[in-house]
Amino acid sequence: MPGFEIFGAEERKQVNDVLETGVLMRYGFDGMRNNHWKAQEFEAAFAKRMDAEYCQLVSSGTAALTVALAAAGIGAGDEVIMPTFTFVASFESILALGAVPILVDIDDTLTLDPKAVEAAISPKTKCVMPVHMCGSMADLRALKAICNKHSLILLEDACQAIGGTYEGKALGSYGDLGCFSFDYVKTITCGEGGAVLTNNEKYALHADHYQDHGHDHIGKDRGAESHPFLGYNFRISELNAAVGLAQLDKLDGILNTQKENYTMLREALKTINGVTFRRVPEGGEENYSFLSFFLPTEELTQKAHKAIAEAGVDACFYWYTNNWHYINGWEHLRNLKTLGNLPSEVQTQMQDLNNTDFSKSDAVMGRTISSLIKIGWTEKQVHERAEAIKNAIASVL
Ligand SMILES: *Cc1c(COP(=O)(O)O)cnc(C)c1O
C-alpha cells in the first residue's frame, strides 16, 4: 500500500498552493484563499472516480468510520456486526458512539462469513460492517441480501481496498456507506485523512454536519451558521487534502503496477504444491495491494513464515499471531480495558470475547500469509522475491 513510495513534485505543488495563501482550513476565508478549495476539489474528484453521489473528507479512516456510523444514526446500544480480522478502527469507531461491536467469524475470503453474520443478528442489530482486508472484498451480494432482509445498514470499510471493484462497482460504493483511509501507509495518502462515500443524500448531509461540530454550512458567515444537531470535529486540513489531490491522480498508475507485480508473484507461487490462495468472491476484482495465500496447516504456516523472514524477505505478514489485525492481538478489547467507564449497554451486550468460539476464523487465519505488493519493485526483484519465498516454503513442506 505504497502512496508514500511516489511522493513527489505533484504533491509539493498542491501543498505549495495552500502554503502561499496560508489558508490551512477547508472552510471560509474566501477572500484570502486565492480560490484554493483543496478539500472540496478532492471530494468532487474522489466521488467521480468512485462513481458515488457524495464524498465527505475527514481527518482519518477511523474518523470516516465514526462519521459514517453517526450519519446513519447508530448510537448507544445499537449492535454493529464486524469481523474478527480487521484493523482496530472497526471496534474503536463503534465504541466511540456507545454502540456495541459484535465480532463474527471470517471465511476463506478473509472477510465476513455471511452465514456467521446472519447467525449473529439480534433485535438490536443496526449495521453490518464488512472490512475488505488486504485488497480484496467481502461477499457483498450475500451481505446486501441479508441487510435488505433484516433492514440493516451495510457499511463497507474499504480502507485497504481502494480501487478494487465488485460487480463493476468501486468497493466502498456498493453498500449504504463506504469508508476510506489516506493514512501514511495506505494505497494513496494524505499524510492523515479519510473519506466517506454514499449515494444517500440524508447520510451525506449528516456526515457534512457531524464532522464539523454540526455546522449546517449554509451561507458565507461561519459564525452565523446554525447547528441542527450535535457534532464533533473530524475535519481534514487543506494541507492534507492538497497531498491527497495529487495522490488521487496517481491511483490508476499504482493499481496497474500492483496488478503486474501481484500477477508475477502469484504465477510463481501457484506452482508450489500445498499453496492455495484467498478466495475472491465471484464478480470481484482485487486492488492487488497484497497477495494472501494459505498453507495446509497452522504449524507449517508458522514454520514457513519464519523461514521466509530468515531468507531476508520483508513485508510478509502472519496476522494470526504477529500483528494486531486479528482478535488474538486485541487483549485490550477482550478485557475491555478503558480509561473511563463504558456505557452500560456496551457492558451488558458485549460478547465475552475471551470465551467466544472463533475456531472457524482461527482455522483460516492460522494458515494465512500475506505479502505486501510494492510498486517500486523491478521485475527482477519480484522474481527474486518469488524464488526466495518458494525456497523457504519448500524447506518446510
Ligand atoms: C487504516 C485502516 C483504518 C483506519 O484508518 P486511519 O486513517 O489509520 O485511522 C480502518 N480500517 C482499516 C481496514 C484500515 O486498514
Structural domains counted in the chain? 2
194 lines ligand 1 (CB under 6 A): yes
60 lines ligand 1 (CB under 6 A): yes
Distance 128 CA to ligand 1 centre (A): 17
Residues 156 and 267 in one domain: no
Task: Using the 3D structure, point to which of 208, 235, 250 is the last residue of a domain.
Answer: 250
Residues 245 and 278 in one domain: no
Residues 92 and 216 in one domain: yes
Residues 27 and 106 in one domain: yes
The distance of Cα 315 from the centroid of its chain, to the nearest Å, equals 19
* Cβ(269)–Cβ(275) below 8 Å: yes
Residues 52 and 134 in one domain: yes
Q: Report DSSP state, residue 51.
A: T
Residues 84 and 190 in one domain: yes
The pLDDT of residue 1 is 58
Number of the ligand 1 atom closest to the C-alpha atom of 186: 1
Residues 303 and 203 in one domain: no
The pLDDT of residue 324 is 87
Query: Which residues in the chain show pLDDT less than 50?
Result: none
* Cβ(54)–Cβ(201) below 8 Å: yes
Alpha-carbon torsion, ordered 309, 89, 204, 55, to 10 deg: -20
Beta-strand relationship, 153-157 and 276-277: unpaired
Residues 242 and 270 in one domain: no
Which mutation among 157, 290, 330 tests ligand 1's pocket best, with the greatest number of atoms within 8 A of CB?
A: 157
* Cβ(161)–Cβ(135) below 8 Å: yes
Alpha-carbon torsion, ordered 169, 189, 72, 37, to 10 deg: -100
The pLDDT of residue 340 is 96
* Residue 113, domain CATH: 3.40.640.10
Residues 368 and 286 in one domain: yes
Distance 32 CA to ligand 1 centre (A): 34
Distance 393 CA to ligand 1 centre (A): 31
The pLDDT of residue 124 is 98
The pLDDT of residue 42 is 98
Task: Using the 3D structure, point to which of 250, 271, 292 is the last residue of a domain.
Answer: 250
Which mutation among 94, 179, 183 tests ligand 1's pocket best, with the greatest number of atoms within 8 A of CB?
A: 183
What's the CA gap between 34 and 105, in Å, rounded? 51
Q: Report DSSP state, residue 110.
A: S
* Residue 349, domain CATH: 3.90.1150.10
210 lines ligand 1 (CB under 6 A): no
Residues 149 and 191 in one domain: yes
244 lines ligand 1 (CB under 6 A): no
Task: Using the 3D structure, point to which of 250, 269, 287 is the last residue of a domain.
Answer: 250
What residues are annotated to the active site?
186
> Would you say the pTM of this structure is higher than 0.85?
yes
Residues 48 and 196 in one domain: yes
Residues 79 and 149 in one domain: yes
The pLDDT of residue 126 is 98
- For 213, the domain range is 3-250
Write 349-355 long-range contacts (CB < 8 A, 24+): 349/77, 349/79, 349/100, 349/124, 350/100, 350/101, 351/102, 351/103, 353/103, 353/327
Number of the ligand 1 atom closest to the C-alpha atom of 193: 7
Choose among 350, 358, 353: nearest CA to 122.
350
